[in-house]
């Protein structure tokens, strides 16, 4: 029986407070296991508006209605309003998810700052950002994080090395087709990368006439044609809010196809690490997403 690994990226304060509890209730109805990856520092969502000159960004914004999904106030954080500290303001909501039995891990410290800078940054900057998120996670949950999933699938060689230094056994920081050991600067690391294998809803919506009424059917056709383990990344701000009805259709359809729902930890526990391939860390483009991100070579 194939698994759908449900990996939830939580980017914002609103997503943490509203989208996360909504998703938890939905997962409870479907008896679905899932992994929540939290942004633990300041919410600077408004800084993302600086990306308007990036190729493909305006097209994506027009397809996914950023204002509708995130809200005007959210888009002012870091611009006209100070960025609230998510790990302070929403610590109770985060702890409630852990206490409900869901796996929790690190998404990032400052989502927009990481996503827009990490590729070019040096070891000191990278380590400082990651250590802040690690320390805050420990403050919130009273235990070290099990895993990591990078904001915007953006990393650098120092970040991959830090996951090993933390002793994490698995992470999901890029896009690809199968679990693998990452090779960085000629060195094979000890943690397993379990890349996102399925397109995200915001990458598919608005393309080739696909809308909120047809996108679930489109994705279900994809998983029916490829009946093997898949990693699906969703966002608390989208599937946990306006796109919740679409996501509910997906969960219902996947269950009907015979899939089970798993955490990243469940997936890793079922892998035979001795037989996993190794791949160099590379960059590439994904249809429906602007800019380059971490991708697994074919």
Extents of the domains making up the chain: 3-295
Q: In the chain, which residue ranges form alpha helices assigned H by DSSP? A: 13-14, 20-30, 57-64, 66-70, 72-76, 86-89, 91-99, 111-117, 123-141, 157-166, 201-204, 215-225, 244-256, 264-269
Which pTM was predicted?
A: 0.90
Residues 269 and 128: their CA atoms lie apart, in Å, by 30
| Contact criterion met (CB below 8 Å) for 191 and 169 | yes
Residues 200 and 183: their CA atoms lie apart, in Å, by 26
Mean pLDDT, residues 254-279? 98
Averaged pLDDT of the chain: 91
CATH assignment, 3-295: 3.20.20.370
pLDDT tens-digit series, residues 143-153: 999 999 999 99
- When mean pLDDT is compared across 13-17, 76-80, 233-237, the lowest value belongs to 76-80
pLDDT tens-digit series, residues 82-106: 679 999 999 999 999 999 999 999 9
Segment holding 232, helix H or strand E: strand 230-235
For residue 200, give the DSSP letter.
Answer: P
- When mean pLDDT is compared across 58-62, 80-84, 166-170, the lowest value belongs to 58-62
Paired residues of 107 in beta bridges = none
Asked if residue 47 has pLDDT above 50, the reply is no
- When mean pLDDT is compared across 46-60, 206-220, 259-273, 280-294, the lowest value belongs to 46-60
């Amino acid at each position: 029986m194939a698994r759908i690994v449900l990996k939830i990226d939580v980017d914002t304060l609103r997503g943490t407070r509203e989208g996360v509890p909504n998703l938890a209730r939905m997962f409870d109805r479907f008896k679905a296991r899932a992994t929540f990856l939290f942004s633990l520092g300041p919410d600077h969502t408004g800084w993302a508006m600086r990306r308007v000159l990036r190729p493909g960004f305006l097209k994506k914004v027009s397809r996914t209605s950023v204002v509708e999904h995130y809200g005007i106030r959210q888009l002012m954080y870091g611009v006209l309003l100070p960025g609230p500290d998510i790990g302070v303001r929403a610590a109770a909501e985060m702890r409630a998810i852990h206490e409900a039995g869901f796996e929790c891990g690190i998404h990032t410290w400052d989502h927009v700052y990481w996503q827009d800078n990490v590729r070019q940054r040096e070891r000191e900057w990278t380590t400082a950002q990651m250590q802040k998120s690690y320390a805050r996670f420990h403050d919130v949950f009273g235990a070290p994080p099990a895993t990591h999933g990078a904001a915007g699938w953006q990393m650098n060689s120092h970040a991959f090395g830090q996951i090993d230094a933390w002793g994490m056994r698995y992470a999901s920081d890029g896009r690809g087709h199968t679990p693998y050991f990452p090779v960085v600067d000629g060195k094979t690391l000890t943690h397993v990368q379990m890349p996102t294998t399925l397109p995200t809803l915001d990458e598919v919506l608005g393309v080739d006439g696909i809308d909120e009424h047809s996108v679930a059917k489109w994705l279900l056709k994809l998983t029916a044609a490829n009946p093997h383990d898949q990693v699906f990344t969703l966002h608390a701000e989208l599937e946990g809010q306006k796109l919740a009805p679409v996501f509910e259709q997906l969960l219902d359809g996947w269950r009907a196809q015979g899939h089970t729902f798993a955490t990243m930890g469940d997936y890793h526990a079922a892998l035979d690490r001795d037989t996993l391939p190794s791949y160099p860390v590379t960059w590439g483009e994904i249809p429906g997403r602007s800019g380059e991100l971490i991708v697994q070579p074919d």
